[in-house]
Chain A
Amino acid sequence: KNQVEQSPQSLIILEGKNCTLQCNYTVSPFSNLRWYKQDTGRGPVSLTIMTFSENTKSNGRYTATLDADTKQSSLHITASQLSDSASYICVVYKSGGSYIPTFGRGTSLIVHP
């Protein structure tokens, strides 16, 4: 069973609108959580990292939140642009050893003009 669940699976929004992507995890022990953006035909690129003590972190129009108690994270995209069309992947890293990551299946976002 996948220990990182993302929702929705896919999302279509109009340019300029906001959206929120969700990530629930059961990975333990927790080290950190990263959101990656994967454009079609390319490798994922790291957007932001959330550690246990952080609640909110922003990277431009991207804002990630983390609730370590409920094991939930969200990625909020403000004023969407056509270039935001991509797959957004939530990755949770275990602590200890080599920090092996567990990947969610991703949310496919399409931004229409």
Chain B
Amino acid sequence: NAGVTQTPKFQVLKTGQSMTLQCAQDMNHEYMSWYRQDPGMGLRLIHYSVGAGITDQGEVPNGYNVSRSTTEDFPLRLLSAAPSQTSVYFCASRYGPGDPQYFGPGTRLLVL
């Protein structure tokens, strides 16, 4: 199993550009989440999904969209990038609500 994969590993954007961060898992997990990690702060939940077709907002959802058309994929879309979205983004999945989360390797995003 590849586990949780994320692409790209690194990305530089200009303010106002849009892009999609890809996340895929091959463990048949129902629960998937997107987090951002900033220096000196804990991981913060952006959006999450409890199954295909079901998504909900987390702690910091503004400026991001998600969709979950399949169990395997959970892309995160930045609608109009801002410098405040410079961060490391992690995708995670888990089988059920009480199970451990498996994290991807992260995407490092710089918005100029």
Contacts and interface: CB of A to CB of B under 8 A. Distances in A.
A89 B106 CA distance: 16
Given A43-B105, A98-B50, A100-B58, A49 B100 contact: yes
Interface residues of B, number: 23
Contacts, number: 51
B75 interface: no
A6 to B, nearest CB: 9
Contacts of A42: 105-106
Interface of A: 2, 4, 31-32, 34, 41-46, 49, 89, 93, 97-106
Interface of B: 4, 31, 35, 40-45, 48, 50, 56, 58, 90, 92, 97-98, 100-101, 103-106
29 contacts: A41-B106, A42-B106, A43-B4, A43-B103, A43-B104, A43-B105, A43-B106, A44-B43, A44-B101, A44-B103, A46-B100, A49-B100, A89-B42, A89-B43, A93-B97, A93-B98, A98-B48, A98-B50, A98-B56, A98-B97, A99-B97, A100-B58, A101-B101, A102-B42, A103-B42, A103-B43, A104-B42, A105-B41, A106-B42
